[in-house]
């Protein structure tokens, strides 16, 4: 997302795109329904833990490791193969995201570096820093054009300034832009999708939209499917108003589906079946 010549609050301006206000309102209602469930008054920590597990599973699925939830739940060793490592990275990122909220608004680039370090701790000197000139990004399921290192640095700095400045943009809009920009840039040598979705989670929690982290957008992104995810990303990368609005709506639908997932967990706990 280029901010050159943009309005003083370009993220807020995205909120006026056709259909975005409806998406924002629909997400708010979906989130409020889960938070209003009677089980949340007594067992919210269990809902948070389950949402984290399901969110990690969904994020890993979008990065090529589409495991059954019970397989993720029972496994303790995530070192055997590439899919195992992807699932392990997703679980670590989900656990780490909640620890970085206080840093995000002051130093988002520091948080992104930390997220990559957590996801890819075994990748040598390329861990925790943006790609340098000539370095590639290992993100085989995303076939968008790869920006060069100079463009990555400039756009990351622009994104960081927008986050630090704050503004009046709805949480959904900010989360969608952070997610989309990180996938478009693929600033790290690996695990960019996992990092982007973890950053989306941080925005949704830190904004106050989902403070208990019980509406995992990653679940919704996975449920909507990789083809729809990549098509919506194409819209974001196009930079057109319609494309941006479609990506924000897609992210909104993902949050709604994540909320629905946790509502089902609440119902199961209430029935004593979980």
pLDDT tens per residue, range 211-238: 999 999 999 999 999 999 999 999 999 9
**pLDDT band, residue 123 (cuts 50/70/90):** low
User: Would you say residue 5 has pLDDT above 50?
Assistant: no
Say what the pLDDT of residue 53 is: 97
- Contacts of residue 107, defined as CB under 8 A and 6 or more positions apart, other chains included, come to 160
Say what the pLDDT of residue 139 is: 86
Give tens-digit pLDDT for 195-215. Answer: 999 999 999 999 999 999 999
Q: Calculate the CA dihedral of residues 33, 10, 143, 91 and round it to 10 degrees.
A: -40
Summarize the confidence of residues 150-164 as an average pLDDT.
Answer: 96
């Amino acid at each position: 997302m280029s901010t050159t010549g943009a309005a003083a609050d370009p993220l807020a301006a995205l909120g006026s795109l056709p259909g975005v206000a409806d998406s924002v309102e629909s997400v708010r209602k979906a989130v409020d329904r889960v938070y209003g469930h009677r089980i949340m008054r007594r067992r919210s920590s269990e809902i948070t833990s389950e949402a984290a597990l399901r969110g990690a599973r969904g994020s890993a699925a979008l990065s090529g490791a589409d495991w059954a939830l019970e397989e993720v739940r029972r496994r303790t060793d995530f070192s055997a193969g590439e899919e195992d490592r992807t699932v392990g990275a997703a679980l670590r990122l989900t656990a780490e995201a909640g620890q970085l909220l206080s840093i995000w608004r002051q130093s988002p680039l520091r948080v992104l570096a930390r997220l990559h370090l957590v996801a890819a701790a075994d990748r040598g000197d390329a861990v925790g820093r943006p790609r340098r000139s000539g370095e590639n990004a290992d993100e085989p399921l995303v076939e968008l054009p790869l920006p060069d290192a100079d463009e990555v640095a400039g756009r990351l700095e622009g994104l960081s300034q927008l986050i630090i400045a704050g503004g009046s943009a709805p949480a959904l809009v900010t989360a969608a832009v952070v997610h989309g920009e990180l996938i478009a840039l693929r600033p790290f040598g690996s695990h960019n999708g996992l990092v982007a979705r973890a950053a989306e989670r941080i925005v949704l929690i830190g904004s106050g939209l989902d403070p208990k982290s019980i509406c995992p957008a990653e679940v919704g992104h996975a449920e909507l499917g990789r083809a729809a995810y990549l098509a919506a990303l194409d819209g974001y990368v196009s930079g057109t108003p319609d494309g941006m609005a479609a990506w924000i709506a897609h992210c909104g639908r993902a949050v709604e589906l994540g909320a629905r997932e946790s509502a089902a967990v609440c119902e199961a706990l209430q029935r004593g079946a979980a």
